[in-house]
Amino acid sequence: MWVAKTVVLKFLPILFLVLFLCYLYLDRELEHPIEANPFTCLSADEGYIKQETLAFNNIYGVGLAYANHINETASDFDPT
């Protein structure tokens, strides 16, 4: 019993160090900040509404796909 506690107490600081280093790696800044694309709003007479009836089984959406969120995450970004 005492041997198991000693082994756990010996490796606990190493485990915390590894977890802390993983946190620092994932929380790093991106080399090139991502910027949102410029856009312009259309006036009401420049567009139209197209009525469609779609039969669907699943609905998929894109969430958190904005420039600030991408900059907050540790993702790979190649500006070239």
Over residues 38-73, the pLDDT tens digits come to 778 878 888 777 887 777 777 776 555 566 666 655
pLDDT at 75 over 60: no
Residue 25 CB partners (closer than 8 Å, separation 6+): 74
Could you tell me where the DSSP H helices lie in the chain?
A: 2-26, 67-72
> DSSP character for 66?
S
**DSSP SS3 for 26:** helix
State the Cα–Cα distance between residues 11 and 42, nearest whole angstrom.
61
- pLDDT of amino acid 18: 94
In the 8-state DSSP scheme, what is residue 80? Answer: -
Dihedral of alpha carbons 59, 64, 67, 70, sign: negative
